[in-house]
Every structure is written in C-alpha cells, then in structure tokens.
Amino acid sequence: MRWLWIDCIVEHEVEKRLVAIKNVSLAEDVLHDHVIDGKPIMPFSLMIEGMAQTAGILVGSTTRFKEKVILAKIAKASLDCDVTASDTVRYDATIERIDDAGASTSGTIDRRVAGGEAWERIGRIELLFSHIDNNLAGTEFPAHNFVFSDNFKMILETAGLADLAD
Amino acid sequence: MSRDDIFEKIQEVLDDALGVDEDEVTPNASLTADLGAESIDFLDIIFRLEKTFDFKISQGELFPENLSENPDWISDGNLSDAGLAMLKERMTHVDFTSIEDGDRNISKIGDLITVNSLVDFVEIKLTG
C-alpha cells in the first residue's frame, strides 16, 4: 500500500495544471505523532509529498504514465501557517518546463478551515522531476514502471480521468 | 546584453538552483567541485537559464551527457582522443586545456564546467 497524501483530483488542464484536495483528519496516526503546543499539526514534509504527488501525476499524465517520474529536487518550499485536523488543503500544480530529461513545476498551497468557505493562500512549492530513464547521469533503472501504481490509477478513476492512463 | 549583465543573471540562477551565495559564484568556480552541483542540478540550471534568457537548450548542448554509452568516447573510464575531439567540437563554451595532457577520468569532466563556461555559453546563444 502506498501512502497517498491527496484525496482527490478536482481540476485538470491537459499538460498544464492539476489541482488536488487533501482533507486532514484526526484519524491519521501521523497527526498524533506531530503535536505542537497541544495542537495536532500536519507535517510540512507530508504537504510537500502531497504537492509532489499532485505535480507528479500532472507530469506523468503528459506521457500517459509511460515514463517513470521521480521527485528529484525540492527547489523551494515555504509555508506561512500550520495546518491541523479538520482543515482542507488544496494543491495547485503547474508545469513550468518539461522535456525528455524531466520537468519543473510550481505550485501553491491553499487552506480552508472547517465551516469556512474562503481559501487562504498559505504556501508555495517549486519541484523538479526526473524522467529517470533519461537521467543526465546515465543511471539505469528497472524496466517496469514502479512509480505509477494501482493506487494512483484509483485516484485517476475517482476523478473521471482513467483514460489518461490508457 | 553585456557580459557583465549575463554574469549577474547567472549568479542569480546559481543562487536559486544551488542555494549558494552570490559571492561564491566567481568566474572560475567549478559548478561541481566548488559549488556542489549534482547531476539533477544541471537539469534545474538548464530550465532556469532557458527561462531567464528566453532560449531553448537541447539535451547535451550545455553539459556532456551519456558519454559512457559510446565506447569510442570512453575507454577504461577515461575520455578517449575521439571523445575529447567530439566534446571540443560540440561544447565550444568549455575550456578543455587542463585535461588534454592530464587526468581524463570521466568523473573529472564535470569539473570543467565553470561559471565562465555558462557565461560563454549564454553569450554564444544570444549572439547566434
């Protein structure tokens, strides 16, 4: 079972932009292990992973998930406030540049508190992905695509985007 | 754009890509040996140069790639005469003088890419 840090895809502009939602819940053990001043806080590292999964699906979709897309570098990451249980997080990822070797993406993180309607911009993340079969170092990897598993396909199916992986 | 302007923009690119201070980005600083660049940083630098200077960079145009795939270019882990001739022809922005009669181990080739190399590369690209 792969740890997924997004719940669903809510917007997709082909080869350009993908938006995903994460509902933060006290049912997640990790929040109980990350309590600051008595408040369970979503670790920023896992929010970076959430953005990496959002942007990674976007980058992978450009080749119909035939390429192995690996997070290679966190170029920039900033977060202005904490996220806690009952908050909803929105990851909005855009491809800045893509070629055979890899892709760079920029993204924003928004938060909506329980009962609220407004989204608040709370962070920005820039990532670099490698198409590892074309990596600049020339390192070889296994032939099968171990990146985009059935769990990722489930997310695509629930968003009505299953045809992206055909 | 003057050479000084190019250098200043490259300082910013390397500051963003490698997290180094601008005063570390001296003309003769090697990207790998002095500034700590790794292979994935080269891709980051290529993307940032394209955005900053508004041109496209083809694979293998700025940095040597996949040299070891061609046995004519690499022999026993060292760059052959044919490999060196190929690189000199393809990468006119790099000074290969130091390896012509010295250590040609493939691991040392990346050290030849200096800040000056990047400035030369951009200058050549901008002037066509």
Cβ-nearest to A104 among B47, B65, B68: B47
A-chain CB neighbours of B66 within 8 Å are: 138
Residue A109: inside a domain: yes
Cβ-nearest to A73 among B44, B65, B66: B44
The number of C-beta contacts closer than 8 angstroms across A and B is 43
Closest CA of chain A from B65, distance in Å: 6
Residue A3: inside a domain: no
At residue A144, the pLDDT reads 64
The helix, strand and coil proportions of chain B, stated in percent and rounded to the nearest 5, come to 55, 5, 40
Mean pLDDT of A33-46: 94
Residue A55: inside a domain: yes
Q: Do B69 and A135 touch (CB under 8 A)?
A: no
**pTM to 2 decimals?**
0.84
B-chain CB neighbours of A128 within 8 Å are: 40, 43-44, 47
d(CA A44, CA A82): 8
Residue A165: inside a domain: no
Residue A2: inside a domain: no
pLDDT band at A76 (very low <50, low <70, confident <90, very high): very high
At residue B88, the pLDDT reads 85
| Domains of chain B by start residue, with CATH | 1-62+113-128 (1.10.1200.10), 64-109 (no CATH)
Q: Does A121 touch chain B (CB under 8 A)?
A: no
What are the C-alpha distances in Å from A35 to residues A31, A38, A89, B8? 7, 6, 18, 44
Decide if A99 contacts A135 (C-beta within 8 A): no
At residue A139, the pLDDT reads 62
Q: Residue A76, SS3?
A: strand
Closest by CA position to B12, among listed B122, A75, B20, B4: B20
ipTM for this prediction: 0.75
Q: What is the CATH number of the domain that holds A70?
A: 3.10.129.10
DSSP annotation of A6: -
d(CA B48, CA A113): 36
Query: Which residue range is the domain that position A81 belongs to?
Result: 8-160
Q: Is the confidence at residue B72, as pLDDT, over 60?
A: yes
Q: Does A108 touch chain B (CB under 8 A)?
A: no
Active-site positions of A read: 34
